[in-house]
Amino acid sequence: MHTLREERPFDAGKWLEALDRKERGMEPFSREEWDQILGHHEAVADIPASLFAADLIAAYPEAKVILSVRDADRWQKSVAETIMTHFSLGTRLLAWLD
């Protein structure tokens, strides 16, 4: 997310297009389309890439994947104490309502 926000905000439209396709049950991005966003990276982690784990695995079958599994309650507490402190109350409320 840092890269998207700080270094490559111009990629936001492509990420939104990928999300729109996913939400509509449409064909996922091809490797060539993912390369437009990710071709300059050697690895991805976290949001937004984690939303597309299965799609990225299909597009990059030779990639190594590390899957971490956490207790949901401990993860939620961790997110609340770290990431969510950077969002306003209004943003958190809208995310919760969504």
Looking at the structure, tell me whether residues 8 and 42 fall in a common domain. yes
> Which pLDDT value is given to residue 83?
78
Q: What is the count of structural domains for the chain?
A: 2
HEC sequence for 5-67: HHHCHHHHHHHHHHHHHHHHCCCCCCHHHHHHHHCCCCCCCCCCHHHHHHHHHHHCCCCCCCC
Looking at the structure, tell me whether residues 28 and 53 fall in a common domain. yes
> Which pLDDT value is given to residue 80?
83
| Spatial distance between the Cα atoms of 8 and 36, rounded to a whole number of angstroms | 12
Please, is 7 exposed, middle or buried when counting C-beta atoms within 10 Å of its C-beta (0-12, 13-18, 19+)? exposed
Query: Per residue in 10-59, pLDDT tens?
Result: 888 999 999 999 999 999 999 999 999 999 889 998 888 988 999 999 99
Looking at the structure, tell me whether residues 33 and 73 fall in a common domain. no
Looking at the structure, tell me whether residues 50 and 14 fall in a common domain. yes
pLDDT at residue 9 above 60? yes
Looking at the structure, tell me whether residues 7 and 54 fall in a common domain. yes
Q: Are 4 and 47 in contact (CB under 8 A)?
A: no
Query: Per residue in 72-97, pLDDT tens?
Result: 999 889 888 887 777 666 665 666 66
Q: Which residue has the higher pLDDT, 83 or 65?
A: 65
Q: What is the pTM of this model?
A: 0.72
Domain extent at residue 85: 68-98
Looking at the structure, tell me whether residues 73 and 50 fall in a common domain. no
Looking at the structure, tell me whether residues 10 and 53 fall in a common domain. yes
